[in-house]
């Protein structure tokens, strides 16, 4: 197990949003998190690296998040360490308003990275399948790239921190089909090194990129199984209705 939710209940204020969810994710796999809008996917995803700490009304009501042998919400665990090991890519590409080069080096430099920055930039951009397109303009602004390139830059920025896990919340929803296909190919390569959790509304995408799929409905985890089973022989009627497009 690399990350897990154990009997997890999460709330905003006094409203429980995620209810008694248990989910284990093994190393170097891609897990898709699917379910109708508002069912709690992003809320769950953001607890794995404590991004919800920035939401004042957020509360962990009950249960645990584990990252390997660490209880992520225990007082002696440093959230900054967790966010370094468990990186995140958001729905809208959000490069820093600075050069491509600095987008990659900023995080590692404030973390006291002592290696060769040129090498780090090249290897991160290569792993994010962006190097060939930007190698001659590393000093131009990250914001001058296309949306798909910006998203790969954000993936490169996450990779530069040497994460163990990468969380992706609808990483392709702002991208055109060609850019989406590139990101999907990239996820296929990244799985050799990283554990990936991806939220998606695109059923074809879930089927294409993931080995495991977890279906949530109204805050509960209804079914979690290998992706083929979820799409070919779901055990739960709600799962079947959702993947057949009968709701959500
Ligand atoms: N900061 C917040 N404060 C209060 N309620 C929130 C907050 N963020 C989300 N919620 C509520 O929690 C529920 C779950 O939201 P969440 O964003 O986790 O859903 P989701 O499954 O990611 O939906 P989508 O597919 O639309 O992104 C929703 O009812 C939402 O309105
Ligand atoms: Mg969401």
User: What is the set of domains in the chain, with CATH numbers?
Assistant: 3-95+165-243 (3.40.50.300)
With a 6 A CB cut-off, is 56 part of the ligand 1 pocket?
no
Q: How far apart are CA 60 and CA 72, in angstroms?
A: 11
What's the pTM?
A: 0.96
Q: Strand, coil or helix: what is 177?
A: helix
With a 6 A CB cut-off, is 209 part of the ligand 1 pocket?
no
pLDDT of residue 228: 97
CA of 218 to the centre of ligand 1 (A): 11
CA of 37 to the centre of ligand 1 (A): 8
CA of 169 to the centre of ligand 2 (A): 7
With a 6 A CB cut-off, is 93 part of the ligand 1 pocket?
no
Strand-strand pairing, 30-34 and 212-217: parallel
160-166-170-174 Cα dihedral, nearest 10 degrees? 10
Q: List, for residues 125-144, the tens digit of each pLDDT value.
A: 999 999 999 999 999 999 99
As a whole number, mean pLDDT of residues 150-160 equals 96
Question: Average pLDDT of the chain?
Answer: 96
Phi, psi of 217 (to 5 degrees): -150, 125
User: Binning pLDDT at 50, 70 and 90, where does residue 248 land?
Assistant: confident
pLDDT of residue 66: 98
């Amino acid at each position: 197990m690399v990350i897990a939710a154990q009997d997890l209940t999460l709330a905003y204020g006094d409203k429980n949003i995620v209810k008694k969810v248990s989910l284990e994710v093994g190393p170097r796999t891609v897990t898709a998190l699917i379910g109708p809008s508002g069912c709690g996917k992003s809320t769950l995803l953001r607890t794995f690296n404590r991004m919800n700490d920035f939401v004042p009304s957020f509360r962990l009501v009950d249960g645990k998040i584990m990252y390997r042998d660490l209880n992520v919400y225990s007082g002696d665990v440093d959230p900054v360490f967790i966010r370094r090991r468990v990186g995140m890519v958001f729905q809208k590409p959000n490069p820093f308003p600075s050069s491509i080069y600095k987008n990659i080096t900023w995080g590692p430099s404030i973390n006291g990275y002592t290696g060769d920055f040129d090498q780090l930039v090249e290897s991160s951009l290569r792993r994010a399948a962006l190097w060939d397109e930007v190698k001659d303009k590393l000093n131009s602004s990250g914001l001058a790239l296309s949306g798909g390139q910006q998203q790969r830059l954000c993936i490169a920025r996450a990779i530069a921190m040497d994460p163990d896990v990468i969380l992706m919340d609808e990483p392709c929803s702002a991208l055109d089909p060609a850019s989406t296909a590139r990101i999907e190919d990239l996820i296929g390569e990244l799985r050799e090194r990283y554990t990936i959790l991806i939220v998606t509304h695109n059923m074809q995408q879930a089927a294409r990129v993931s080995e495991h799929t977890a279906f949530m409905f109204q805050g509960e985890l209804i079914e979690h199984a290998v992706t083929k089973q979820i799409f070919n022989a779901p055990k739960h009627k709600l799962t079947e209705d959702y993947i057949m497009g009968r709701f959500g």
